[in-house]
């Protein structure tokens, strides 16, 4: 184990932490330790980590803000590559003010505000989506009629063994809250925005933030919507859960939020086991009541990694 950290530390410029508890890297505040956690400072760092993991046959997991993951109480048996500080840059491309290349660690709310200030429309309505650009691309996150798929022109990734590649946005299999991007680390995304009036864009930002403030349990750690809205149903996942009488259901420290039924919150000291138990009960009840099988939006991470389909 010491060998793993020392070798990694000698190959990357960013910090490497050993046996690092992951709860502090998730908005759920839940999750056991990773064997190591690296905060890359550059694409070269990501390449070095993936080369190392390939040589040493060690698992790896990319993580952004951890706002859409539920990490197992036993943690992750490998190296977490956490894109945040150091990967949060913006550059203009070809001196075209409407095209920005953005580091995967850039917080989406910061990008939303920066684009609005610059008079660029396309991502500003995601001001209340508390993740990174890398996580947003992978999840095809969206809000208020905007989602990443609409503005992402290219995605820079590093694949297993450290291979660097740029994927055109048109080659990504964009779907509702999914991009199909898996098994790689997203290091940057190139966006094509459209011009807009900064005052109008800023008003939209204020409106969206006010709307969120009313309907989001910001006082409790959570991961946003736990379930995807079901296709072919005129009711949202939240409405189905509410209709099945599950609002307020509590197991251990986990509870279906009394404010928003598609949020399962950590009321204090919740474990991943508690949250999974609530998920299971909710699914069972909604299926019994409506014959609808709710799909997970949150990514469950166990010791072996993350399953894109929950
Ligand atoms: C209060 C709250 C409100 C929310 N509201 C919304 C909303 O309105 N709309 C919405 O769509 N989502 C919402 N979310 C969910 C979440 O914020 C988004 O899905 C967000 O884009 C996830 O980004 P992240 O950086 O936190 O990803 P993480 O949670 O860190 O990771 C999510 C998945 O992406 C992978 N991943 C992360 N970064 C990378 C990378 N660089 N390369 C490769 N894979 C990567 C991870 O392995 C994991 O499988 C909300 C969450 C919270 C807590």
Beta pairing, strands 120-121 & 194-195: antiparallel
**What is the average pLDDT across 175-182?**
96
37 and 83 in contact (C-beta within 8 Å)? no
Provide the pLDDT for residue 310.
55
Catalytic hit among 113, 177, 192, 235? 177
Q: How far is CA 77 from CA 1, 81, 164, 194, in A?
A: 11, 13, 25, 43
Residue ID of nearest Cα to ligand 1 atom 51? 224
Provide the pLDDT for residue 270.
98
Q: How far is CA 24 from CA 20, 94, 248, 262, in A?
A: 9, 38, 25, 23
Atom from ligand 1 closest to the CA of residue 28:
53
Alpha carbons 95 and 241: distance in angstroms, whole number: 49
Q: Is 225 a catalytic residue?
A: yes
Q: Is 297 a catalytic residue?
A: yes
Catalytic hit among 225, 228, 283, 299? 225
Alpha carbons 61 and 183: distance in angstroms, whole number: 9
Provide the pLDDT for residue 308.
59
Provide the pLDDT for residue 218.
87
266 and 28 in contact (C-beta within 8 Å)? yes
Residue 100 dihedral angles phi and psi, to the nearest 5°? -120, 135
What domains appear along the chain, each with residue ranges and CATH number? 2-82 (3.30.43.10), 90-215 (3.30.465.10), 237-307 (3.90.78.10)
Atom from ligand 1 closest to the CA of residue 65:
26
Pocket lining: 78 vs ligand 1, CB cutoff 6 Å? no
Residue ID of nearest Cα to ligand 1 atom 2? 224
Instruction: Please report which confidence band the pLDDT of residue 27 belongs to, taking 50, 70 and 90 as the band edges.
Output: very high
Atom from ligand 1 closest to the CA of residue 133:
25
244 and 289 in contact (C-beta within 8 Å)? yes
Instruction: Please report which confidence band the pLDDT of residue 191 belongs to, taking 50, 70 and 90 as the band edges.
Output: very high
- Asked if pLDDT for residue 232 goes beyond 70, the answer is yes
Q: How many angstroms separate the alpha carbon of residue 128 from the centre of ligand 1?
A: 12
For residue 69 the two structure tokens come to 């993951």
Task: Write down the mean pLDDT value for the chain.
Answer: 96
Provide the pLDDT for residue 1.
67
Residue 36: strand pairing partners: 18, 79
Query: Ligand 1 pocket test: which of 59, 61, 76, 141 has the largest number of ligand atoms within 8 Å of its C-beta?
Result: 141
Q: Which positions ≥6 away from 6 have C-beta within 8 Å?
A: none
127-136 pLDDT, tens digit per residue, is 999 999 999 9
Per mean pLDDT, which range of 39-48, 89-98, 220-229, 264-273 is the poorest? 89-98
108-117 pLDDT, tens digit per residue, is 999 999 999 9
Q: How many angstroms separate the alpha carbon of residue 3 from the centre of ligand 1?
A: 32
Provide the pLDDT for residue 159.
97
12-24 pLDDT, tens digit per residue, is 999 999 999 999 9
Strands (E) across the chain are located at: 16-21, 33-38, 59-63, 69-71, 76-82, 90-93, 96-103, 120-121, 142-143, 146-147, 152-158, 164-168, 185-192, 194-195, 250-251, 254-256, 264-266, 299-302, 305-307
Instruction: Please report which confidence band the pLDDT of residue 3 belongs to, taking 50, 70 and 90 as the band edges.
Output: confident
Catalytic hit among 125, 283, 297, 299? 297
Alpha carbons 59 and 196: distance in angstroms, whole number: 44
Residue 69: strand pairing partners: 299
- Asked if pLDDT for residue 309 goes beyond 70, the answer is no
**What is the average pLDDT across 30-36?**
97
């Amino acid at each position: 184990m010491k060998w793993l950290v020392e070798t990694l530390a000698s190959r990357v410029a960013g910090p490497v932490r050993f046996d690092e508890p992951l709860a502090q890297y998730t908005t759920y505040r839940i999750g056991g330790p990773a064997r190591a956690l690296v905060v890359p400072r550059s694409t070269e760092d990501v390449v070095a980590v993936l080369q190392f993991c390939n040589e040493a046959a060690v698992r790896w997991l990319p993580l952004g803000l951890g706002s859409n993951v539920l990490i197992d109480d036993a943690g992750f048996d490998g190296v977490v590559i956490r894109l945040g500080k150091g990967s949060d840059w913006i550059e203009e491309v070809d001196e075209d003010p409407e095209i920005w290349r953005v580091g995967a660690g850039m917080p989406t709310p910061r990008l939303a505000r920066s684009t609005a200030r610059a008079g660029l429309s396309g991502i500003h309505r995601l001001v209340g989506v508390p993740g990174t650009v890398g996580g947003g691309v992978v999840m095809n996150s969206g809000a208020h009629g905007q989602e990443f798929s609409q503005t992402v022109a290219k995605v820079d990734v590093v694949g297993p063994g450290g291979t660097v590649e740029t994927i055109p946005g048109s080659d990504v299999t964009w779907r509702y809250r999914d991009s199909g991007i898996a098994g790689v680390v997203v290091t940057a995304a190139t966006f094509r925005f459209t011009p807009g009036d900064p005052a109008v864009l800023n008003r939209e930002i204020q409106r969206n933030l006010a709307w969120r403030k009313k309907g989001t349990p910001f006082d409790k750690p959570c991961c946003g919507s736990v379930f995807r809205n079901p296709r072919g149903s005129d009711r949202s996942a939240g409405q189905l859960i509410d209709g099945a009488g599950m609002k307020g259901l509590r197991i251990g420290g986990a509870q279906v939020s009394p404010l928003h039924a598609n949020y399962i919150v950590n009321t204090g000291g919740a474990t991943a086991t508690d949250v999974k138990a609530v998920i299971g009960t909710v699914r069972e009840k909604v299926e019994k009541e409506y014959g609808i099988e709710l799909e997970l939006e949150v990514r469950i991470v166990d010791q072996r990694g993350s399953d894109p389909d929950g």
